[in-house]
Amino acid sequence: MDAIKTNNTVDGHKGLQQRRSFSNMIDHDGIEDADVVGAVAAQSIEMQRSNSGQTSIESWTSTSSTTTENSLSNELDELDEEKTIPDQPTNFGIVVPGVYRSSFPQESDYAFIQKLKLKTIITLVDKEFPETFHPFMQANGIQHRHITMQGTKKEAIPVSTMASILQVVHDKRNHPVLIHCNQGRHRTGCVVALVRKMQNWHMDRILDEYKAFAAPKPRDCDVEYVTNFKVSEIQHLALAPLSDTLPVQHP
């Protein structure tokens, strides 16, 4: 099982390094906390869109619906409300508004997580939780869905397991939802990659995003799993689309 690593573990990787630089800005140059919070969320989306080959945030007006634009604006406004920027989990990212990804949340992350106003946390790993984890969720009205998923390095992920995860992610009654494993790289990366498949992203762009978050150790077995996964195997679930909250990149 992968061990949790600190932010310094992935120093040198451009995408993640840039995203973390906003957290460091809080102690410099008199930048207001609210500005930093919005920048963290915005750059998280911008980095993912850049790596996926989609258009930048600045061009959303011409490429996405008003609904899409408004949902993103509301998302960032809510993150700005309290004018503070606590520590965020390693590998935190916005998949679509209302769906987040990260490493295993630590106690130091709780203040940031509170800002997301989560309804659901999906845990993909079987490990001991911090003593404060369940009390924190109960105090904030967060339901916990613990769906253990072995990494592809150990075994093929059963279709039934992935289907269970995707059902929770695609059910908007569970939103806002946070998906996490240990490092937010491999298991979480596979789940997000299949969300992108459901959104009809190009495969090379799906893998670009996976590799950006999996750096510096993307796994060939994950790439193979994502590439070979057939969406037709879960079509019977009639999953609600998430594509109305971000522009879809069609082949």
Token duo for residue 224: 């193979």
181 as an active site residue: the answer is yes
Give the β-pairing of 99-102 and 93-96: antiparallel
Gap between the Cα atoms of 239 and 162, Å rounded: 13
Which residue out of 37, 125, 181, 246 is catalytically annotated? 181
Gap between the Cα atoms of 220 and 217, Å rounded: 9
Question: Among all residues, which ones are annotated catalytic?
Answer: 181
